[in-house]
């Protein structure tokens, strides 16, 4: 983040947008949201992704037991004629 002319709030906004996008974010869209050019947004995105690289730190990646709160994995149950399936917390999914 040093040696750039971008203000800190644009870096933080870009980090927020990249982390919270479920399928990633394009440099064109990132540039429009932040108010910078596509070329700058591309460099900004790559710098942020490089900072998030687990191999760049001395701390190892997640290992051991990892806990998540209320995450349902899997799709909807298959359709069965006349059967009403439970939804949300009523399911037997872990």
Mean of the pLDDT values across residues 62-84?
74
Does the structure show a pLDDT above 60 at 94?
Answer: no
Q: What is the pLDDT of residues 49-58, one digit of tens each?
A: 888 876 656 6
Q: What is the pLDDT of residues 8-47, one digit of tens each?
A: 899 999 999 998 888 889 999 999 999 999 999 999 999 9
> From CA 84, how far away is CA 79, in angstroms rounded?
9
> From CA 45, how far away is CA 43, in angstroms rounded?
5
Does the structure show a pLDDT above 80 at 69?
Answer: no
Does the structure show a pLDDT above 80 at 70?
Answer: no
Does the structure show a pLDDT above 80 at 48?
Answer: yes
In this prediction the pTM is 0.55
> From CA 64, how far away is CA 48, in angstroms rounded?
26
């Amino acid at each position: 983040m040093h040696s750039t002319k971008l203000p800190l709030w644009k870096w933080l906004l870009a980090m927020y947008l990249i982390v919270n996008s479920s399928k990633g974010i394009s440099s064109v869209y990132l540039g429009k949201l932040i108010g910078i050019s596509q070329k700058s947004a591309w460099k900004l995105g790559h710098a942020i992704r490089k900072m998030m690289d687990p191999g760049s730190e001395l701390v190892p990646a997640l290992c051991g037991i990892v806990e998540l709160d209320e995450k349902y994995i899997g799709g909807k149950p298959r359709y069965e004629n006349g059967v009403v399936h439970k939804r949300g917390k009523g399911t037997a999914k872990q």
